[in-house]
Amino acid sequence: MRGDFEIEDSSGNVRIEEAQGTVRIGDSSGDIVVQGATGVQVVVDGSGDIEIERISGDVRIERDSSGDINIAGVGGNVEVLADSSGKLRVSDTRGTVKVP
C-alpha cells in the first residue's frame, strides 16, 4: 500500500501491513496492529491492545484508554502522551522515547 492512510474505526480490529506511508488511526475498540509503515499516529484508542513494529519514522500515541502497548523496531522517535492502563513495552528504537 502506498501513500498516507487515515483510519477511523468504531469497533473490531485494525490491521495494517507494509504501508509505504504514514498511518493515522482513531479507534474506539478492538486491537490495532501496524507491521511496516513510514510513520504511525494513534490519535485515540478506546480499548484493545496496540502492536506496532517495523516503522522507519516516528510513532506517536496520543491517548490510549486501556490495553497493552507493544512498540518495536522504530527508526525514529516514540512518544506516548497518555496511557490509562495496561502494560507499555518499547524496544529496538533508534530515536528518543517519551512515555508518561
One-letter amino acid at 89 equals R
What is the reported pTM? 0.94
Q: Identify the pLDDT of residue 1.
A: 64
CB 57 within 8 A of CB 78: no
Q: How far is CA 26 from the centre of its chain?
A: 10
39 vs 12, residue with greater confidence: 39
Buried-exposed string 28-57: b where 16+ CB fall within 10 A, e elsewhere: ebbbbbbbbbbbbbbeebbbbbbbbbebee
Q: What is the mean pLDDT of residues 66-80?
A: 97
Q: Identify the pLDDT of residue 60.
A: 98
One-letter amino acid at 43 equals V
Given a cut of 80, whether residue 3 has pLDDT beyond it is: no
Percent of the chain topping pLDDT 90: 89
Q: Identify the pLDDT of residue 34.
A: 97
Gap between the Cα atoms of 54 and 100, Å rounded: 23
Q: What is the mean pLDDT of residues 22-41?
A: 96
